[in-house]
Amino acid sequence: MNPTNNQHVLNWLNEMAAMTKPDNIVWIDGSEEQVAALRKEALASGEIIQLNQEKLPGCYLHRTTWDDVARVEGRTFICTKTKEDAGNINNWMDPAECRAKLTKLYTGCMKGRTMYVIPYSMSIVGSPFAKYGIELTDSIYVVLNMEIMTRVGFNVLEALGDSSDFIKGLHSKATLDAENRYIVHFPEDDTIWSINSNYGGNVLLGKKCFALRIASYLGRKEGWMAEHMLILGVTYPDGTKKYVTAAFPSACGKTNLAMLIPPEVFQKQGYKIETVGDDIAWLRVGSDGRLWAVNPENGFFGVAPGTNEKSNPNALHTCMKDTIFTNVCLNTDTNTVWWEGLDNNPPVHAINWKGQPWDYHTYDKADKVNTSGAHPNSRFTAKATNCPCLSPAFYEPNGVPVDAIIFGGRRARTAPLVYQSTSWQNGTFVGSIMASETTAAGAVGVVRRDPMAMRPFVGYNMGDYWAHWLEMGLKIPHPPKIFHVNWFRTDDKGNFIWPGFGDNLRVVLWILARCAGKVDADITPIGYLPKAEDICIDGLEGITLDTVRDLLSVDTAAWLEDVENIKEFYAQVGDHVPQAMYDELAALEARLKAAR
Ligand code: OXD
Ligand code: MN
C-alpha cells in the first residue's frame, strides 16, 4: 500500500519504475526498525562492514569502487532549455537529448533490485524554509546516508499533501560504469537524475544537487538564497549571541571553522562557539528586515583525513558513534578506523580504502591516492545531533539572524588575513572574485576562481547568480556586512604565518566588532582593514604586532596582477556578468593604480 495518495508523486514513481524495472518497491518510513533491517541486509551483502561496537557504537564502513571516490564536475550537467540559462561555467545538455540518452541507461537498470522511495525534507518539516524531495534509489548505502543527512519519513508526505511542489530525484548505481556516469539537473522541472555512481556527493541528492544546485535556482525564482556556507554562532561572556555564515572553497577548513574550539584566553573569559551548519545555508529575509539562515541538512558529510584531536575535536567526537565511514582505512587488530592525519599511530595490520592489505611504510605523500590507507576524500556521515557543540538554534524553524557573511580563499600572498567590503554591492564583488591557489597535489600556485565557493553548485548562469545577489541586497533592509579572510598566507619558506584553527576566532571577533560598530578600520584600495592592534593576539605564541601588520599588508602589484586574472574570468563567465561587477572591478583597479 502506498503511504500517500498524492497523484504527482505516484504518477512519477510509476513512470520511473516502468523505466528502471525494479523487482520491488519499498517506501522508507524513517523508523529505526526499518533502518536496522536495511543495515542488516547491507551487512549480509558486504555493502557495509560493522566496526567495533564497543569503541564505535553504531558505526559502519563502506568502500566505493576505486574510480568512484569524488564528485565528478565534468559529468555534472545543468539541463535548462537554453545553454545561455545554464551559462558558461556549467556543463549543459539539451534536456530532451539528456533524457533520451539517460533513459537508455536507466532502462531495466533496477532489474533484480529493490527501488527504495525516500521522502525527505531539507530543513525542519513544516518550517518556513522547508523544501521537500523524494529520492528513488537502488542503493541501501544511499538510504542509510540520506537517513543521517536529511529528515526522512512519512511526515514529509503528510506535509506535502497533494502538492506537486517536491524535487524528483532518481538515482541508480546501474553498473557503476565511470564512462556513463551522469549527475544531471533539470531545474525547470524540479528533477535530478544520477546514474552509475555510489559516491555520496553524486548520490545523496538532498545535498549538493538539491540544497545547492536546484535550490539556488529556486532561490532566484522565489527571492531567497541557497549558499555553500557554514553557519557559526558566537556566544559572548555576557550571553549575547551573534551568527556568521562563511563560504570557502574545498580544502580551506570549513568544517574546522564551523566547529572551532576557542583559544584558552577566550574560554576563560566565557566565550563559546556553537555550530548551526558546516556546509550549506539557506537564507531568507526575515520580518525584522535582517537576513536569516538555516542549515537545511541534518548531518555532516565530512572529509576524514586531517581530522584529529587538535584540528577538530568536535568533528572527531561527532563521528565516534552512529556514523558511516566511507573509504577510510580499517585497523584489523581493533576493527576500528584510521586515516592520515588522525594520529601518528597508523595501524600495523590494516586494510586500505581499496580493500587491500596495507603497510603504512609504503605511504608516499606525492602519490596519496595510491599509497594512503584512507582515500584523501574519504568521509564520515555523522548525525548533527551527535555534535558536542551543536547550537540549540539548529532546531529553530526560523533559523538565526546573520550579522556577517565571510568569504575566504587559500592565497599565499594576495589576500590579507581579513578585510571588509564597503557595501553589499562591493561585498558581492568580493564574493565573485573568490579564489584558491592549488597546493602540492596540483600545479603549484595556479589560481582557481571559485565565486562564493559556488562554482560547481550554481544551478543557472553564474552572471545571473551575481545579479540575484545584487537584487537581494536591495530587498534586505538590514543586510549583513560582508568580509573576506585568508588563513593561508605563507612566509618566504612557504610556511603558514597565521596559526589558524581555534585562533581564527580572533578574526571572527574583529568581524563582529565591526558589525557592532565597536571598532575602527583603515580604508585601503581593497576595502576596510583592521588596525593591527585590534586583532587580539593575547596568549598567542610567536605572533607579534608586526606579524599581524605583515598579515594585513596589501601587495598592490600582486593585486593588479590578480585584476588581470579576474578580467579573464569575467570574460569566461560571459555577457550575463552585471555591469555593477565591472564597475566594481574598474574602481578597484583605479584605486590600486592610484596607490601604486
Ligand atoms: C563537499 C564539497 O563535499 O564541497 O562538501 O565538495
Ligand atoms: Mn561543501
Q: Is the distance from the beta carbon of residue 250 to the nearest atom of ligand 1 less than 6 Å?
A: yes
Kindly provide the residue ranges of all beta strands, DSSP E only, lying in 521-580, ordered along the sequence: 521-524, 527-530
Q: Which atom of ligand 1 is nearest to the CA of 303?
A: 3
**205 C-alpha to center of ligand 2: Å?**
13
Residue 37, C-beta contacts closer than 8 angstroms, at least 6 positions apart: none
The residue with cell 522547508 is 130
Grid coordinates of 278: 558546516
The residue nearest atom 6 of ligand 1, judged by CA position, is 250
Residue 203 CA to ligand 2 centre (angstroms): 14
Contact (CB, 8 A) for 95 and 85: no
Predicted confidence at residue 442, as pLDDT, reads 46
User: Which residue's CA is the closest to the ligand 1 atom numbered 2?
Assistant: 250
Please tell me the distance between residue 229's alpha carbon and the centre of ligand 2 in angstroms: 8
Class of residue 454 by CB neighbours under 10 A (exposed 0-12, middle 13-18, buried 19+): buried
* Residues 354, 307: Cα–Cα separation, whole Å: 20
190 in Cβ contact with 166 (< 8 Å): yes
Query: Is the whole-model pTM more than 0.85?
Result: yes
Nearest CA to ligand 1 atom 5: 279
Instruction: Give the residue, by CA position, lying nearest to ligand 1 atom 3.
Output: 201
Give me the tens of pLDDT residue by residue for the chain, a chain 596 residues long. 899 999 999 999 999 999 999 999 999 999 999 999 999 999 999 999 999 999 999 999 999 999 999 999 999 999 999 999 999 999 999 999 999 999 999 999 999 999 999 999 999 999 999 999 999 999 999 999 999 999 999 999 999 999 999 999 999 999 999 999 999 999 999 999 999 999 999 999 999 999 999 999 999 999 999 999 999 999 999 999 999 999 999 888 899 999 999 999 999 999 999 999 999 999 999 999 999 999 999 999 999 999 999 999 999 999 999 999 999 999 999 999 999 999 999 999 999 999 999 999 999 989 999 999 999 999 999 999 999 999 999 999 999 999 999 999 999 999 999 999 999 999 999 999 999 997 654 455 789 999 999 999 999 999 999 999 999 999 999 999 999 999 999 999 989 999 999 999 999 999 999 999 999 999 999 999 999 999 999 999 999 999 999 999 999 999 999 999 999 999 999 999 999 999 999 999 999 999 98
- What residues are labeled active site? 252
Give SS3 for 165. Answer: coil
Q: Is any ligand 1 atom within 6 A of the Cβ of residue 201?
A: yes
Closest ligand by atom to 456 CA: 1
Spatial contact of 97 and 177, defined as CB atoms under 8 Å apart: no
Query: Residue 187, Cα to own-chain centre: how many angstroms?
Result: 20
Q: 175 Cβ partners below 8 Å, 6+ apart?
A: 109, 196
521-535 b/e (C-beta count within 10 Å ≥ 16 → b): beebbbbbbbebebb
Determine the pLDDT at residue 444. 57
Instruction: Tally the residues of the chain.
Output: 596
Residue 369 Cα to ligand 2 middle (Å):
20
Please identify every residue whose CB atom is under 5 Å from ligand 2, which is an ion.
279
Q: Identify the three-state secondary structure at position 209.
A: helix
Pinpoint the alpha helices (H) of 320-375: 368-371
Any atom of ligand 1 within 6 Å of the Cβ of 279: yes
Cβ of 297 less than 6 Å from ligand 1: no
Beta strands in 165-240 (DSSP E): 166-172, 182-186, 191-195, 225-227, 230-235
**Residue-wise DSSP of 219-235:** HHHHT-EEES-EEEEEE
Residue 251: per-residue pLDDT = 80
Distance CA 130, CA 499 (A): 38
